[in-house]
Amino acid sequence: MKDKKLIKILIVALNIIGIICLIYFMIPYISHDMTIKNPDAMLATYSWDTSGFVLTLGVIPLIIANTLAFIFIKTKHRVLYFIPSIICIVLAGHYLIFATDWREEDQNKPMDTMKCVINKKEYTYKIYKEENGNYSVGFEDNDSIPVAIIDFTDKDSIVKSIEKYYKDNKGMCP
């Protein structure tokens, strides 16, 4: 008799913790909170994005807690125990389908790549076109090319300015 009462208390406590976690992560996700709680972290993300990810991870444990309450705690409207699970499934589904940009990897591909050699060292330059129409260049950390000499007007001017730098400094871009 005491064991069943203890199990019921633990299941109720587990459901309360699950509901508190659901509310805690639901608020930043729904409000689309753009703050970054820890900008120095290895993977710094917006609060809404982190909350959406945690809600997705929390679907299964919340369903388990709500199912345990449905099985062990006999009440008139037991089906209402699944409301938190349904809310979490809807939010996680929204995060996975609408809020997550699965095309992000395609946007980071360079539109052109060039290699140049100076002092028997080879350097690689990747030219990107950003969403706003501007151009940028990715290069290695140990590269000593001055960014100020690169003409970012368009792809051809970037290539010409880098080639000119190497030609002026007794290098070449094959």
For residue 13, is it within any domain?
Answer: yes
Q: Which domain holds residue 92?
A: 2-100
100, 122, 153: which is the final residue of a domain? 100
Quickly state the pLDDT bin for 104 (edges 50, 70, 90). low
35 and 70, same domain (yes or no): yes
14 class by beta-carbon count within 10 Å (0-12 exposed, 13-18 middle, 19+ buried): middle
Contact 154, 135 (CB under 8 A): yes
Per-residue model confidence as pLDDT tens digits over 110-168: 888 999 988 888 889 999 888 788 888 888 878 888 888 899 888 899 999 999 999 99
Calculate what percentage of the chain has a pLDDT beyond 90.
51
Cα gap 72→8, rounded to integer Å: 7
Number of domains within the chain: 2
Average pLDDT estimate for 87-115: 82
Give me the sign of the Cα torsion angle 145, 151, 153, 158.
negative
36 and 78, same domain (yes or no): yes
81, 100, 119: which is the final residue of a domain? 100
26 and 74, same domain (yes or no): yes
10 and 53, same domain (yes or no): yes
For residue 173, is it within any domain?
Answer: no
Q: What is the pTM of this model?
A: 0.59
For residue 138, is it within any domain?
Answer: yes
Cα gap 166→174, rounded to integer Å: 11
